[in-house]
Structure 1
């Protein structure tokens, strides 16, 4: 009787190239099915104005103060909400650093007018001479 000697079995190997292909397919699938939304911090419905114009790209960007529909103040459109006393102090600080500072007021259509006037008063007290308001162009009929 002749017994056969079994040849030594090689240990199983993992084919890395196939795993990489599967991983790339999964990444592509996740990228295609994922939605990428940008959520603005402050959502404003700007009022329409027949005199609204686009800002030139070569102009220096103004400092933006936003007032939402509830009357909350925002430093920029994505900053944190702040109160009127903090706003006045920060405006004085910015005006001392930049003597020709321009302020752009971005207020919601339904924002309390009293809050807008308070922001304008704080800007005037800080020595900011140029205060503009954001508006949207009227819709075409």
Structure 2
């Protein structure tokens, strides 16, 4: 017995519009989060040269800054807030050379202000080349 004679079976229909919406959202997400390696690196061919190394060694002025703020210019010890002594020590150590390099050996626990004082004194002494010494950890 066929009780469903007058009724026809409906074919299932797949609605593609929500699927397309989902794929567009995923595509936008992937485009935004993708990193492009071509922007983060540059291919540079550096020139090579065959020349004699420079014979003149740069004049280095070592300024040590301790954790408590005490300073030492080459072998001359200074107090924690002795700005005039620091400036005088840098001028004496430079001995009129404008190409002298100030090397700041600051303790890891020294204050930023102590290091800034050394930088300001070097600028006032006319020493524009400044570098910081670091220690390589094994």
TM-score of the pair, normalised by structure 2: 0.52
1:64 corresponds in structure 2 to: 62
CA distance in 2, matches of 1:75, 1:93: 10
Alignment-derived partner of residue 80 in structure 1: 77
> For structure 1, which runs of at least 5 residues remain unmatched after alignment?
1-57
Give, in whole Å, the separation in 2 of the partners of 1:91 and 1:79. 10
- 2:60–2:101: 8 Å Cα contact kept in structure 1? yes
- Change beyond 3 A, Cα 1:91–1:112: same
Which one has the largest radius of gyration? 2
- Name which structure has the greater RCO, CA cutoff 8 Å, separation 6+: 1
Match of 1:100 in 2: 99
Taking a change above 3 Å as real, the CA distance of residues 72 and 122 of structure 1, as seen in their structure-2 partners, is: same
Tell me the residue number matched to 2:38. Answer: none
After TM superposition, the score normalised by the length of structure 1 is: 0.51
Where has structure 1 moved over 6 Å in runs of 4 or more?
none
Q: Distance in 1 between matches of 2:61 and 2:90?
A: 9
Q: Point out where structure 2 has 5 or more consecutive residues left out of the alignment.
A: 1-55
Measure how far apart 1:124 and its partner are.
Answer: 0.8
How big is the shift at 1:81? 2.6
Cα distance, 1:94 vs. partner?
4.1
Q: Give 1:132 deviation, angstroms.
A: 0.5
